[in-house]
C-alpha cells in the first residue's frame, strides 16, 4: 500500500507565555476540538483550543497543483 503525507496541522499550546507540559502544569488537561471534513476534491481540518479560543485551520485541495 502507498501512503503520502499531505500536510501537518499545529496548534501551539501556550498559557501565560509558557508551554503546557508535564513540568509546568502537571496533570492538567486541555480540551481540543478537532474537525475533519471530506468533500468533493478537498479535505478541511481544524483544531480549537477550547480554553483559549485559539483555532488553526488548513485546507487540502487535490486539484490545486
CA 54 centroid distance within chain: 10
Q: How confident is the model at residue 21 (pLDDT cuts 50, 70, 90)?
A: low
User: Does 8 fall in a domain?
Assistant: no
Q: How confident is the model at residue 51 (pLDDT cuts 50, 70, 90)?
A: confident
- Residue 43: give the domain boundaries: 14-61
User: Does 42 fall in a domain?
Assistant: yes
Considering its fold, how many domains does the chain have in total? 1
57's grid cell? 485551520
pLDDT in tens, 29-50: 778 999 999 988 899 999 998 8
User: Does 9 fall in a domain?
Assistant: no
Order of all β-strands in the sheet with 42-49:
32-39, 42-49, 55-61
Q: Are 60 and 43 in contact (CB under 8 A)?
A: yes
Query: pLDDT: is 28 or 8 the higher one?
Result: 8
User: Does 38 fall in a domain?
Assistant: yes
User: Does 3 fall in a domain?
Assistant: no
User: Does 18 fall in a domain?
Assistant: yes
The count of other CB atoms within 10 Å of the CB of residue 20 is: 17
Amino acid at each position: 500500500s502507498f501512503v503520502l503525507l499531505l500536510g501537518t496541522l499545529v496548534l501551539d499550546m501556550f498559557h501565560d507565555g509558557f508551554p503546557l507540559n508535564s513540568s509546568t502544569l502537571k496533570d492538567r488537561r486541555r480540551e481540543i476540538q478537532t474537525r475533519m471534513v471530506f468533500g468533493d476534491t478537498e479535505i478541511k481540518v481544524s483544531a480549537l483550543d477550547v480554553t483559549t479560543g485559539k483555532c488553526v485551520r488548513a485546507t487540502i485541495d487535490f486539484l490545486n497543483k
